[in-house]
Each structure stands twice: as structure tokens, then as C-alpha cells.
A and B are shown apart, each in its own frame.
Chain A
Amino acid sequence: MSVLVDKTDLSLKYTAHYNEVKDELFANSSDILNAQRKKAFQNFVLQGIPTRKNENYKYTNLNPAFVPDFKFIHTREEKKADMSEVFRCDVPQLNTNLALVFNGWFYKNETEKGDLPEGVILDSLESISKERPELLEKYASLANVEEDPMVALNTAFAKDGFFLYVPKNVVVESPVQIINLLQDEKDTFSTQRNFILVEDGAKVQVLLCDHTLNLNQYLNNSVTEIFAGNNAEVEFYTLQNQHNKATNINSVFIDQQRDSRVTTHTASLHGGLIRNNLQFALNGENAEAHMFGMAFMDKKQHVDNFTQVIHAAPHCESNQIYKNVLDEKSTGAFSGRIHVVRDAQKTNAFQRNNNLLLTDEATMQTKPQLIIDADDVKCSHGATVGQIDEEALFYLRARGINEDQARLMMMNAFAHEVVKEIKLEPLRDRIDELVDKRLKGEVSRCHDCAYQCDC
């Protein structure tokens, strides 16, 4: 059977599915979410499942990830996980406001109230979009369904996810932590739609932990829109720790207004196929954006970080550092696009991607891209792909440090440049430890939760 026939069949399968569950999708959902569905699905069909023919997915073919006969969860199910167990998961020494997203559906932490300041809302998108529609005026305004088929598919299927609102000038002291769990008896397709609204002068840190709890196949397609108002400050951490049969497509869109500062950290520790789309739009003067990413891949894992920074206002600064350690037959890709639009003068944009290949079979594709339509800007980019420095390795060994340990020291050193940028100290220590375990080949868990899956 030709690939072409396969592809057509798959698209047809999804069209048939949409038609079949249309009523279920619209049922019990808010007007805000429902208003986008039809157009979004049409856009998905128009663009198709992304393959290498799609310029933005040049290094990641998603077609095989769509093949399994997935179960879809378009209606909230009875909780199957024991919440008190789930909420034991945490980062030691880190007081967080915990919430759970289970197979794409938000569940409140009923056992612990947390210490969110007055006016801050951490709730399900499903209910807030019905009860407080005014807070979701900008829903789907960043995540453009015409530009990415996965965003289109997410918008068509979106029913829930987490919603976070931090009102003007409110500073949230303890980080908000969202635990994202995938667990079902069947291979499951999960859709998650998140929305974060941080008003002028407000400040918040968000930590997202992605996990799979059994060995079934998962395809998770999530979209997060983040709005940072004037002088707002947001730190957004994502820790991806799934298994080899999980596909994680994670699209994050950020709008920054004047004087705002947003930092993202994406740590990919485990996952069969990980695609991170990250788009920053610097729409107000003097905004500052920092993007950090690290990935540790082995076996046949694949990670693809696709970043776009749009400098739409003058005097803004953006800074990206992405590092990958690729072992065995793993593959990686990094595409970073910086677009400085006309009149965005005095832009300062910086990008770097460094990669360490541990075997001859691991491969890395890296593609920086600058589009500059202003004339008074400072932009730089750099990329390296290399092996462990043999001279340095010999130096360490000549001091009595055995080869494995010396390699480990050097890999940790490579990653540390990114790890040290994590401002939350307990999280930084935790990630340091996880990276160390990951590099040692031990299974690393980002929490002490009771789930002992062998994934």
C-alpha cells in the first residue's frame, strides 16, 4: 500500500470521527469553545496530518503517530485516579498550588487548598468559559488554526484543560503546579487546551509536569495560550517525562505587552516523540523573552523544538538557548525563527542551539532562521553539533576519574548551562538530580508519587 493511500485513509478516518462525535463535542460546552470548532476542523482537513512535506514539520513526520485506533475522551469521565495519591506528587521543598489534568481534563485539588491570593483563579477551562466568559475574550486569538494543523485539531476537539487568571498587580508567591497524567486501559488520544491570563503588573510561576502512567500508546495534543500584560512577569516550566510509546505535541503561544518578562523552560527527559511549538509575540515595547530548552533522548526517541519569536515592537529583547543530548539512535531537530518586523528598532535577539551526539547513529537537524525587516537591530544565532570532547575526557581520566563518570560529568556540564537558568531553586536542584539520573540511564521520575509504572 502506498504512503499516499495511508495518508488519505488517516485523514478520512479523522473526518469520519469528527462527524460522528460532533454532537458530543458541542454538548455541554461553552459558546466560546464551540464557536471555533467547525472552522478549526476545516483547517485541519485542509492542512492534513503534518508530514515532512509541511515546511514547519520538515524534521518530524507525525503520520505514524496517528495510526493507532485511539480512544477519544470528548466527555468528562469519572475520575479513575486516586486524587490523594496524585497530590502527594511534588517537588520537595517546593510549596506549590497543585492541580491535576487527567487525560486532558482538569481536576481541582480538593484535599489541599493551597495559598493562592484573593482573585487568582486556577480552574477548569470548561467551567470558566461558561461562568466567566469575559475572561476568555482572547481565546484562540494567539493559536492560529490556519497556521498549524495540530493547533487546528486541538481547537476542534478542545473541551477542557487548565485555566489560570492572575489579576492586576497580584503576585503569586507559591508556584502553580499542574500535573498532567495520561492513563487509560486503551490507547488514548488526549486533547488539552490551557489558558493563562496574567494582567498588568502581576507575577506568577507555573510548573507543568507531563507523565504517562502505563505503557499504552498515547497521543497528546495540547495548546496553551499565555497573555502577559504590561510589566507582568511569568515563568513557565515544562517537564516532559513520558514513555517511548507516547507522542507529545505541545504548542505554547505567548503574547507579551510592554515591559513584561516571560521565561520558558522546556526539559524533555523522556518521550517517544516530542514536538514543542513555542511562539512568542513581543507586542509591547521593552518586553523581554527568555527561552531555555534541554532534551535527553535515547533509543529511537525523537525531539523537535520549533520556536518562533516575533519582534513586533521596538526595544525588546529575546534570548534562546536549546541543548540536546542524543544517545543511541535518537534523533533531534531544532528550528528557531526570529522575525523582526518593520519598525521594531533596537531589537536585541539572540539564539543558540548546541547538541551533543553520543553515538554515530544519533542525528540532529538544526535550522536557525532570521527574518529582519528593521534596520537598527542586533541579532545573532549559532548552532553546534558535536561529540564529547575526547581531550577533556582524557584529562579527567588522567586524574583517576573512570570513563563512565567522566562522560557523565561532561554531559552534566553540557546541560548545566541551561539548568542553572532555572530560578526556582528547589526545582533547579530537582532537575539537576533528574538530569543526572537520566544520564546515568536510571529511570527518572519527577515526583515521588505512588505510581510505580514501568514505563
Chain B
Amino acid sequence: MLKIKDLYASVEGMEILKGINLEVKPGEVHAIMGPNGSGKSTLANVLAGKEDYEITKGEVIFEGEDLLDKSPEERAKEGIFLSFQYPVEIPGVPMVNFLKTSVNEHRKHKGLKELTAGEFLKLMREKMDLVDMHTKLTNRMVNEGFSGGEKKKNEIFQMALLEPKLAILDETDSGLDIDALKTVANGVNALKSPERSTIVVTHYQRLLDYIVPDFVHILYQGKIVKTAGKELALHLEEKGYDWIKSENGN
């Protein structure tokens, strides 16, 4: 599904990703962990198409096609979904308009008929139950006045509406209390399928108690320095990141 080969990316002349290699197959859950500043969020943003980054080397193949040539909207419509670490508030843009436009853009891309307002509301109600989303939120402007937890829920709610092939969850656990964490994780798990893959970017192990990864990668100084099964996350939780740093010469 996704192949990242020797990817280098920099921002304002500073190199952040220094040769990433990663392959994600359908149905797999990959966790990317690492200390602060190791490049985790950069990787997530680069995959989603954020233009602040300059790709200096390497390639990313998604479903057999070169991903890096595509605009963020094309990537989204082809099935890449980024759950933002910090979802932005967009005053004046109503949630319902935003979601309906987004869903219909995806449908157009797949050659499906656009949903009418009525059809869309029905779909929305179905998906709202999944993450315990309240109408008091969908009646507002995009993320406006949402608490940290509500913003994250809203991300997973959008994911449920758009049913992506590859979901990238960027620090979805940050700022969540344990109940919200469970709700969000349940939402993600409910969407799991043999065709759908997930990349979970996280600093802490606790989210991985709920979203169980097939692989755990440790990103350090722009490179994946270790890959193993889910037990690696537990090891990290126990020992912290210092041993990674010393193993890699710091």
C-alpha cells in the first residue's frame, strides 16, 4: 500500500528526515514512536502533503503511484487521512458544510453521485455514534470552541465519514484524558479492516494499549533506528528513550 524509500525532507534549510524507509501493507497497524524533535510529525505532514517541507531525496509510493507529486486534496481523495495533532479552528465555516463538501469531493473522485443534504445528514448521524460525537459540536463552526478532546474526537469522526485506506494519527492521544482516549481508540478500532492501514504517531505507549500495533518503529534524528513488534513499545515505556540515544551515539 505505502512504500517510503530513502526519504529526506527539510524545512527552511534544516534537514529533518534523513533517509526514512518504511513499508505498510493493507490491514497493518504501524506505530511510530520517538523522542520529541525526532521528525515524527514531519513525516506525518509530508505524507499528507503539507507544502512547508522540501523533499530533497527519496520517494513515496502509494497504491503504486508517486505520492509526492500530488496535492494534499488529491492525496486525501485517494485515501490518505491525516488526523491532526492540532486541529485548527476555522471560524465562519460551519461543520456541516465542511463535512458535506469533503464527503462529496471524495465521492466525486470515486465516480459516485454526490449526497443530498438529507442523505448526508443520515450518514452523519450514523457515524456520530461511533465516536460519541454530539450535535452541539456538529452545529458549530469547524473546531470552534471545541475542547482538546472534542477536537480529537472530531478528527476520528471525520475519518469515519471518509473511510480512508491509510489513516495517519498524529499524536492523537496528546491532551486526552483516559475516557476520551478510549472513545477515540474505539472509534479507530471500529474502522479497522483487512484493507485499511493505520500509522499511529505517538510519543507514549498508552494509546498502543488500545490500538494494538503490528509493528513499532523508533524514529530518532530523522531515521528509523529500530523496528520490532508491539513489545518494543512496552520496553520504551519502561526504559524511556535514553537507551536509544546512547545506542545511537549520543
Is the C-beta of B84 less than 8 angstroms from some C-beta in chain A? yes
B82 to chain A, nearest CB (A): 5
Q: Which of A375-395 contact B (CB under 8 A)?
A: 389, 391-392, 394-395
Residues of B within 8 A of A400 (CB): 73, 76-77, 102, 105-106, 109, 162
Q: Which residues in A have their C-beta under 8 angstroms from that of B71?
A: 397, 402-403
Q: Which of B133-183 contact A (CB under 8 A)?
A: 141-142, 158, 162
Measured CB to CB, the nearest residue on chain A to B80 is: A398
**Dominant SS at the A interface?**
helix
A399 to B: closest C-beta gap in Å: 4
Q: Which of B73, B77, B105 has the most C-beta atoms of chain A within 10 angstroms of its own C-beta?
A: B73
Q: A398-B82, A417-B92 are in contact. Are A409 and B72 (CB under 8 A)?
A: no
B residues contacting the other copy or chain, number (CB 8 A): 31
Among residues of B, the one whose C-beta sits closest to the C-beta of A397 is B72
Give the chain A neighbours of B89 by CB distance below 8 A.
392
Which stretch (B18-26, B93-101, B122-130, B232-240) binds chain A? B93-101
User: A397 and B73: CB pair below 8 A?
Assistant: yes
B50 at the interface (CB under 8 A from A): yes
Question: A299–B51 Cα gap in the complex (Å)?
Answer: 28
A399 and B158: CB pair below 8 A? yes
Q: What is the CB-to-nearest-CB distance from B160 to chain A, in angstroms, rounded to a whole number?
A: 13
Which partner residue on chain A sits nearest B89 by CB separation? A392
User: Does B102 contact A399, Cβ atoms closer than 8 Å?
Assistant: yes
User: Would you list 10 pairs from A and B whose C-beta atoms are within 8 A, ordered by A residue?
Assistant: A395-B84, A395-B88, A396-B93, A397-B49, A397-B71, A397-B72, A397-B73, A398-B73, A401-B98, A416-B92
Q: Which residue from chain A places its CB closest to the CB of B50 in the assembled complex?
A: A394
B90 at the interface (CB under 8 A from A): yes
Interface residues, chain B, with chain A CB atoms under 8 Å away:
48-51, 71-73, 75-77, 81-82, 84, 87-93, 97-98, 101-102, 105-106, 109, 141-142, 158, 162
B77 touches A392 (CB 8 A): no
A395 touching B162, Cβ below 8 Å:
no
Given known contacts A394-B50, A409-B98, is B105 in contact with A401 (CB within 8 Å)?
A: yes
**Are A410 and B73 closer than 8 Å at their CB atoms?**
no
B residues in contact with A395, CB < 8 Å: 84, 87-88, 90, 142
A294 CB to closest chain B CB, in angstroms?
13
A394 neighbours in B (Cβ, 8 Å): 50-51, 72
Indicate if the CB atoms of B88 and A391 lie closer than 8 Å: yes
- Cβ of A405 under 8 Å from chain B: yes
Give the CA-CA distance A262 to B92 in the complex, in Å. Answer: 25
Q: How far is the CA of A404 from the CA of B244 in the complex (A)?
A: 45
Instruction: Please name all residues of chain A whose beta carbon is closer than 8 Å to the beta carbon of B76 when the two chains form the complex.
Output: 397-400
User: Residue among A392, A400, A401, A412 with the most chain B CB within 10 A?
Assistant: A400
Bound-state CA distance A401–B102 (Å) is 6
Which residue of chain B has the shortest Cβ distance to A411 in the bound complex?
A: B92
